[in-house]
């Protein structure tokens, strides 16, 4: 067992806002995790600590009128700019990213393939690579492959289904390497939720947001405990998950089965990996992938410049 206490970072508010923008952009795309961005940018420990502060002790502080202590418990000065960045990014990018996802998926996923590869290399440096770490990585990779090769299902869009879909998806969003957006795709809720965001459809967004809150508060304590008790092995597990998820990010695919949804849009039910159609497509994909890797390297450089230290590395 490798014990490593979480070391919460102390980033500046402009930097946290930038982190929120990066996390929001990542979470819009199926297959990409906002948790990966938080990890790379060095705020993951602080994020988990802030979320863990929403507990009975917080309610006690609020009941006593201890507003400053309550704000400190949840790191309000950190959460507010982070959430502002996430919200702004989602609202600004949901249209262009969903457009790219629907009309130019090769370009989008080539870029994010490089982003994930770069993330794996950086995050793997904090993993434990003994026998237990290798086993954890193998388990993570196998679980991710099973997850990303599941066929998207058709489910209703009633408030209860949207609620628990949000609860499950937010657990994935907080994990480096696991995409909450792709989980929504698996559950048949991605297009519905994205349309709700674009149209500010409150009857859909409110139960989804409530589900996210419930899922996040219930899951983050388990994750934080695992990182405190078995930091290296947990990171190795997450690296495996990220590596396994690359199957879904591979930009060149062939559709095996599809259907048309209620809005007349084509939905891919089953696909498979394919080779690049020509040399030009391969060159473009490689350039975009290299751009993704360069962005990750640049983000880490920025993290080091601002002096943010990630947890227990």
Task: Annotate 291-312 with b (16+ C-beta within 10 A) or e (fewer).
Answer: ebbebbeebbebbeebebebbb
pLDDT of residue 307: 60
Retrieve residue 132's tokens. Answer: 């237990």
Under 8 Å between Cβ of 114 and 288:
yes
pLDDT 10s digits, 159-168: 888 898 888 8
In angstroms, rounded to a whole number, what is the distance separating the alpha carbons of residues 49 and 86? 18
pLDDT of residue 43: 83
Under 8 Å between Cβ of 43 and 311:
no
Range 288-306 average pLDDT: 81
Which of the four pLDDT bands, split at 50, 70 and 90, describes residue 8? very low
pLDDT 10s digits, 27-66: 776 666 777 778 777 788 888 888 888 878 888 888 888 8
pLDDT of 2 strictly over 50? no
Which of the four pLDDT bands, split at 50, 70 and 90, describes residue 225? confident
pLDDT of residue 267: 64
pLDDT 10s digits, 9-20: 466 788 888 888
pLDDT of residue 311: 42
**Element spanning 255, H or E:** strand 253-260
Range 96-100 average pLDDT: 79
260 against 3, higher pLDDT: 260
**Element spanning 88, H or E:** helix 76-103
84 against 235, higher pLDDT: 84
Range 263-270 average pLDDT: 66
236 against 155, higher pLDDT: 236
pLDDT of 138 strictly over 90? yes
37-41, 138-142, 243-247, 294-298: range with lowest mean pLDDT: 37-41
pLDDT of residue 9: 45
pLDDT of residue 10: 60
Retrieve residue 222's tokens. Answer: 């388990």
pLDDT of 232 strictly over 60? yes
In angstroms, rounded to a whole number, what is the distance separating the alpha carbons of residues 126 and 224? 15
pLDDT of residue 287: 95
Under 8 Å between Cβ of 120 and 243:
yes
238 against 208, higher pLDDT: 208
In angstroms, rounded to a whole number, what is the distance separating the alpha carbons of residues 77 and 16? 10
Nearest to 16 by CA among 71, 69, 84: 84
In angstroms, rounded to a whole number, what is the distance separating the alpha carbons of residues 44 and 38? 5
pLDDT of 248 strictly over 60? yes
47 against 173, higher pLDDT: 47
What is each CA distance from 290 to 25, 100, 114, 267, in whole angstroms?
18, 19, 6, 29
80 against 146, higher pLDDT: 80
Under 8 Å between Cβ of 155 and 185:
no
pLDDT 10s digits, 181-209: 767 876 777 778 888 887 888 888 899 99
In angstroms, rounded to a whole number, what is the distance separating the alpha carbons of residues 167 and 239? 23
pLDDT of 176 strictly over 80? no
76: left (phi over 0), alpha (psi -120 to 50) or beta: alpha
Report the percent of the chain where pLDDT is more than 70.
84
Nearest to 245 by CA among 168, 154, 181: 181
**Residue 180 Cα to chain centre, angstroms:** 6
pLDDT of residue 135: 93
Which of the four pLDDT bands, split at 50, 70 and 90, describes residue 5? very low
Nearest to 19 by CA among 213, 292, 303: 303
């Amino acid at each position: 067992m490798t014990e490593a206490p979480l070391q919460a970072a102390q980033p500046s508010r402009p930097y946290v806002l930038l982190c929120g923008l990066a996390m929001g952009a990542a979470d819009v795309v199926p297959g990409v995790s906002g948790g990966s961005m938080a990890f790379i940018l060095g705020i993951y420990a602080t994020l988990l600590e802030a979320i863990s502060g929403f507990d009975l002790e917080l309610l006690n502080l609020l009941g006593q009128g201890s507003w400053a202590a309550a704000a400190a418990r949840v790191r309000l000065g950190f959460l507010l700019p982070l959430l502002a960045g996430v919200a702004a990014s989602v609202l600004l990018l949901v249209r262009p990213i969903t457009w790219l996802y629907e009309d130019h998926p090769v370009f989008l996923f080539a870029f994010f393939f490089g982003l994930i590869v770069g993330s794996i290399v950086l995050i793997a440096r904090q993993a434990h690579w003994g026998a237990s770490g290798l086993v954890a990585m193998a388990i993570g990779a196998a679980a991710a492959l099973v997850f990303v090769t599941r066929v998207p299902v058709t489910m209703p869009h009633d408030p209860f289904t949207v609620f628990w879909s949000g609860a499950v998806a937010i657990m994935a969003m907080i994990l480096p390497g696991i995409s909450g957006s792709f989980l929504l795709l698996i559950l048949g809720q991605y297009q519905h939720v994205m349309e709700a965001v674009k149209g500010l459809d409150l009857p859909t967004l409110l139960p989804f947001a409530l589900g996210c809150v419930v899922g996040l508060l219930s899951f983050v304590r388990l994750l934080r405990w695992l990182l405190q008790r078995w930091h290296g092995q947990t990171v190795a597990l997450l690296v495996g998950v990220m590596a396994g998820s690359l199957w879904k990010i591979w930009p060149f695919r062939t559709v095996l089965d599809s259907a048309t949804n209620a809005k007349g849009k084509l939905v891919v039910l089953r696909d498979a990996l394919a080779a690049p159609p020509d040399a030009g497509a391969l060159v473009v994909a490689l350039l975009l992938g290299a751009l993704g890797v360069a962005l990750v390297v640049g983000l880490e450089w920025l993290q080091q410049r601002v002096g943010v230290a990630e947890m227990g590395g």
